[in-house]
């Protein structure tokens, strides 16, 4: 009786081993399928090797974002310059004040002392 049980256990072990090999063969059959290989080759070509690859797309998006940030920064600088220009055009006193503060202009007979 005990010998039959040992033989039955060994057969069940062999069946499990055979099922595992079948599943491995199924895995390799799927991987080595011609359609799977063609799909992988297409993904490699489109994703990495082509001139319009995913890598180039990411690089271009990064450059685009940096350019948009520069545009936004320059727009802000233009707005502040326009506000300053309007303030300078509004009155002669503001123009004179700007000239004295920014460019160190002085009227005739005045001395300018720069403290740093």
pLDDT digits (tens, 9 = 90+) for 10-25: 656 666 666 666 666 7
pLDDT-derived band of residue 72, with 50, 70 and 90 as boundaries? very high
Residues 50, 52, 57: CA angle, nearest 5 degrees: 130
Cα–Cα dist 45/43, whole Å: 5
Please state the domain count of the chain.
1
Average pLDDT estimate for 52-71:
92
Mean pLDDT, the chain, integer: 79
Question: Is residue 79 included in any domain, yes or no?
Answer: yes
CB contact at 8 A, 112 and 106: yes
- Structural domain including 73 reads 52-103
pLDDT score for 10: 61
Cα–Cα dist 86/80, whole Å: 10
Average pLDDT estimate for 25-38:
76
Q: Region of 50 please: left (phi>0), alpha (psi -120 to 50) or beta.
A: beta
Residues ≥6 apart with Cβ < 8 Å to 49: none
Average pLDDT estimate for 69-91:
93
Verdict on whether the full-model pTM lies above 0.95:
no
Place of tokens 């002085």: 106
CB contact at 8 A, 114 and 104: yes
Question: Is residue 83 included in any domain, yes or no?
Answer: yes
Question: Is residue 74 included in any domain, yes or no?
Answer: yes
pLDDT score for 70: 98
Question: Is residue 87 included in any domain, yes or no?
Answer: yes
């Amino acid at each position: 009786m005990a010998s039959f049980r040992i033989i039955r256990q060994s057969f069940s072990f062999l069946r499990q081993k055979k099922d595992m090999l079948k599943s491995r063969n199924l895995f390799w059959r799927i991987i080595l399928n011609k359609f799977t290989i063609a799909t992988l080759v297409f993904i490699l070509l489109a994703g990495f090797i082509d001139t319009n690859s995913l890598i180039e797309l990411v690089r271009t998006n990064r450059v685009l974002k940096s350019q948009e940030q520069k545009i936004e920064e320059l727009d802000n600088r233009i707005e502040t310059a326009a506000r300053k220009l309007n303030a300078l055009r509004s009155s002669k006193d503001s123009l004179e004040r700007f000239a004295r503060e920014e460019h160190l202009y002085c009227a005739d007979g005045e001395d300018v002392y720069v403290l740093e």
